[in-house]
Each structure stands twice: as C-alpha cells, then as structure tokens.
C-alpha cells in the first residue's frame, strides 16, 4: 500500500519575472547584465561557464546557481547543445530561504 510522504517547503517562490527553458547552440555567449532580482540557473545537460562579478563558476549537468543583483555573463564550454532552465524572481519572493 502506498502512503503519502509529507514534504517541508524549503524555498517559497510566490512571484517570478521570467521562467525559460532554452537549448543553446554550442557557440552561445551572453555578454552580461545586472538586475535587482534573483536569478536561478540550472544546467540540464552539458557545461556552462558563468562569471559573477570577479568569480567564475563552471556548472555541469545537474548544477544549479542562485544569485542576486550581480553582474553576470555566460558562455557554453562544450561542443554540444546545452539546455538550461532560467528563473528570475523578486528578492522578496526568496527572502525566507531556509536551507
């Protein structure tokens, strides 16, 4: 017999500006931007290089990065297409993060 499992909410997002799922070509480069809201990037497959201010991150399949109000740009590292999920939301929506 199946029994339900209770789940505790760790992150609550009540609003968002954008939600995209992209499959970028292997020569994709994003020149960068800075905005006053959170952005979450999840790598579904492949590898992506993300620069946040003076820090570099290399995310591979299953990698996730959450940041707020930082200058950022990205480019693909692999030759294959890389699908990414991008979510942006106001800071108030993630102000109660409990990890």
Q: Is the pTM of this model over 0.85?
A: no
pLDDT score for 81: 67
Q: Domains in the chain and their CATH numbers? A: 18-94 (2.60.120.10)
Long-range contacts of 29-36 (CB under 8 A, 24+ apart): 29/73, 29/74, 29/75, 29/76, 30/73, 30/74, 30/75, 31/73, 32/71, 32/72, 32/73, 33/71, 33/72, 33/73, 34/69, 34/70, 34/71, 34/72, 35/69, 35/88, 36/69, 36/91
pLDDT in tens, 10-54: 767 778 888 888 887 777 777 888 888 888 888 888 888 888 888
pLDDT score for 80: 64
pLDDT in tens, 69-98: 888 888 777 656 667 777 777 765 555 554
């Amino acid at each position: 017999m199946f029994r339900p499992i209770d789940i505790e909410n760790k992150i609550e997002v009540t609003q968002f500006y954008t939600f995209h799922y992209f499959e970028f070509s292997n020569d994709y480069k994003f020149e960068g931007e800075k905005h006053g809201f959170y952005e979450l990037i999840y790598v579904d497959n492949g590898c992506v290089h993300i620069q946040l201010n003076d820090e570099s991150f290399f995310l591979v399949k299953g990698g996730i990065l959450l940041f707020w109000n930082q200058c950022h740009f990205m480019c693909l590292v692999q030759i294959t297409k890389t699908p990414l999920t991008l979510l942006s939301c106001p800071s108030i929506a993630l102000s109660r993060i409990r990890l």
